[in-house]
Amino acid sequence: MNIASLKAAYDNGTATPCSVLAAIYDQIDRGGQLPVWISLVDRADNLERARTLESDPGARALPLYGIPFAVKDNFDVAGMTTTAACPDFAHAATETARVIEKLLDAGAVLIGKTNMDQFATGLVGTRTPYGICSSVFDDRYVSGGSSSGSAVAVGCGLVSFALGTDTAGSGRVPAAFNQLVGLKPTRGWLSTHGLLPACRTLDCVSIFAETCADASRVFTVARGYDAADPYSRVPAPGQDAVPWSAAGNFHFGVPSALEFFGDDEAATSYEAAATALNALGGVAVQFDYTPFRQAADLLYNGPWVAERVVAIRDFLASDPETLDPTVKSILQRAQSLSAVDAFEGAYALKSLAAQCSAVWSEVDLLLLPTTPTHYTIAQVQADPIRLNSKLGYYTNFVNLLDLAAVAVPSRLRHSGLPFGVSLIGRAFSDQGLLHIADRLHRELAVTMGGSQRKLAATPALEAPQRLEGCMPLAVVGAHLTGQPLNWQLTERKARLIRLTRTHGDYRLYALMSTTPPKPGLVYSPGFCGDGIEVEVWAMPEGGVGSFLNAIPPPLGLGTIHLSDGSMVKGFICEPSGLEGAREITHWGGWRKYLASRSV
């Protein structure tokens, strides 16, 4: 049911949106609506939508043409009831959440609204009156929450993707327990307008899919600024730069001490993921997880738990007995927190964030277990709060520290249960994380979701035509790797992308009286040489201005034609700088020229 396979079936005529939707509703009828679904879009209405798509020649070009999806039941959909898994709270929505509107406009077809931990309070999927979702691998084990139904709907092959929400890990834990990809985007990049808040300052719309390519496709459609959401934001120039994702080498953080609560199989699966990431070009760097863990503790043991009361304050005051007992105990405890507690929590988080930020000077991303272990439904029901807290051991800090994350499956345990790891990066590093995660996923997993369909049969996430937030920059002399000015690139987080040559119409000169010694590259139409060796680096746009300001005359930045016909910005020399210069074109590059002088 992955998007790429479904699109291929539509293109070759072996399936139509009508036939796919009819099969989905038949499957739901056979298995029953509960516990996965709280409400469904009417079958006849969706088949009519499918016929409309099929009859519109232009609809075929829509990025999500005929793709079925589900949403967690804390999103509003006009004409449907929003329950947040609390029947007495249920109300009819009059408008549709902005992120869902974007997906519908892109041709996707909403099947229905899914089960969840009540009011998105939990990581287990057991805190609901609509029946407990279990892992698609073993019905004795929890599915993860709070976005339980959304993950299971994808894991069962009922939809191609689903939306959840993620405050503490609800878009990642269920992904791990159902062998799915779970994208927790940077806060604010997907609109939360039309979403019942859990913690409004931290909430994210999350995406469940079978592959990183599918998650990326949905993310690309759904993201963007929304004036109706006061927390909406988009990256500033260069803020989404992830040159490390295409550089072939990157540094990933691994905790110096790991906690699996006695789950040796989970520890083994994590080590397999770290080994695979190293084989993909990653360099492991140990870091102290302590401040991250202390930040994670603040989510439920600090004042942010009080924010969960805001959206349902009146309901909680008037009808608390209708709540799930565990949810009620959490929310009632939160009401005792004061404004003083809120400020103390903010101070504590600020201090911890400063400690955590030092790690990012050494690594590009973190590799963490998504969860340290996996519990049965019976275990969670016997100890609901303590075990829920353990499941959030590696997830709760991410939104508090304004980070992005992608959860991907690792190798199955010997027991047959799934295990997942998460790649975590700075805000707006989402697309770079997806590209590394896709490569890791394909090294570790064989099948997708709860099916026997092979991951290898699906297309990999395509490399972008250009690195977002970066400027490709060709360097020819003192900025080359190992040369004295290379630090001006690396201190601005630029990464080497490739070694190549210019078009043949370039000459190279050794300039006079420059410190350190530098060459001058000159465009000479009609010269027809062999080209000059250059390195192409990707520099985050935010560092380009200061870099340009540091370039002394007679050098400057201009457009350079490369041997493959592409064009990039790079170092060029003003004609006045050639006075007294020595032509060294025949050496083919600065390195060979320097080597000739040392002989």
The encoded tokens of residue 593 equal 């020229």
The answer to whether 45 and 87 are in contact (CB under 8 A) is no
How far is residue 81 from each of residues 93, 412, 596, measured CA to CA in Å? 6, 38, 77
Helix, strand, coil percentages (3-state) for the chain, rounded to 5, are 40, 20, 40
Question: 170 catalytic, yes or no?
Answer: yes
Neighbour count for residue 129 (Cβ, 10 Å): 16
CA angle 198, 202, 208 (to 5 degrees): 80
Please name the amino acid found at residue 36.
Answer: V
Determine phi and psi for 332, rounding to 5 degrees: -70, -35
**Residue carrying the six token digits 């340009």:** 548
Closest CA to 442 of 423, 459, 462: 459
Closest CA to 96 of 234, 233, 226: 226
H helices present in 118-263, as ranges: 148-155, 173-177, 212-222
Neighbour count for residue 56 (Cβ, 10 Å): 13
Neighbour count for residue 258 (Cβ, 10 Å): 16
Determine phi and psi for 152, rounding to 5 degrees: -65, -35
The encoded tokens of residue 28 equal 């739901």
d(CA 118, CA 135): 18
Q: Which of 135, 146, 191, 216 is catalytic?
A: 146
d(CA 296, CA 139): 29
Question: 146 catalytic, yes or no?
Answer: yes
How far is residue 513 from each of residues 89, 507, 579, 590, measured CA to CA in Å? 78, 19, 11, 16
The answer to whether 307 and 201 are in contact (CB under 8 A) is yes
The answer to whether 118 and 128 are in contact (CB under 8 A) is yes
Give, as one character, the DSSP assignment of residue 190: S
Residue 81, class by beta-carbon neighbours within 10 Å (0-12 exposed, 13-18 middle, 19+ buried)? middle
The full 3-state SS of 485-545, as one line of letters, equals CCHHHHCCCCEEEEEEEECCCEEEEECCCCCCCCEEEEECCCCCCCCCEEEEEEEEHHHHH
CA angle 243, 247, 249 (to 5 degrees): 115
The answer to whether 154 and 380 are in contact (CB under 8 A) is no
**Residue carrying the six token digits 């303590």:** 386
Q: Which of 5, 160, 170, 422 is catalytic?
A: 170
Q: Which of 7, 72, 328, 493 is catalytic?
A: 72
The encoded tokens of residue 37 equal 């679904």
Catalytic residues: 72, 146, 170
